[in-house]
Amino acid sequence: MLEFPILFKKSFNIPKTKWNIAGKLGYGISYAISAIQTLTPLDTNFKPTTEELNLNDPSIAFHRWDHGAYTGLEFGYQIRPHHDLTAETNFYLGMSNIDKLNYTKNRSLSFSLGYMYSL
């Protein structure tokens, strides 16, 4: 998936502490470059099957383009000047119905921890 988000971020320093908090909000478009399909049978005697989809096949009922809203929250702690530890969470909600046969929208939730050095 190639994603092209545009995010706006607003940071707030918590007074008299080394903590800061930031909120993010944005919009983006994405393009699927590959897809994997997993079929899980209702009968527990059979195992799920996974296969890669050929997105160039016109019989595949799948839209490659998607667009949607991004939001996120980030916490930071300043270790010393220009050195921060960060923790963030991001959520993406696709607005397009990507499946031509069923009603399906992309959703994504991510968490990350990091170290940031500011120039």
- 105: helix, coil or strand? coil
Q: Which residues contact 4 (CB under 8 A, 6 or more apart)?
A: 28, 29, 30
- Tell me, yes or no, if the pTM score tops 0.85: no
Domain boundary assignment for the chain: 2-117
Q: Which one-letter DSSP state was computed for residue 45? A: T
84: which strand partners? 78, 116
Return the sign of the alpha-carbon dihedral for residues 94, 3, 108, 83: negative
Cβ atoms of 63 and 100 closer than 8 Å: yes
From first to last of its 119 residues, what are the pLDDT tens digits of the chain?
A: 888 999 999 999 999 999 999 999 999 998 988 888 888 888 878 888 998 888 888 777 778 889 999 999 999 999 999 999 999 999 999 988 877 777 778 889 999 999 999 88
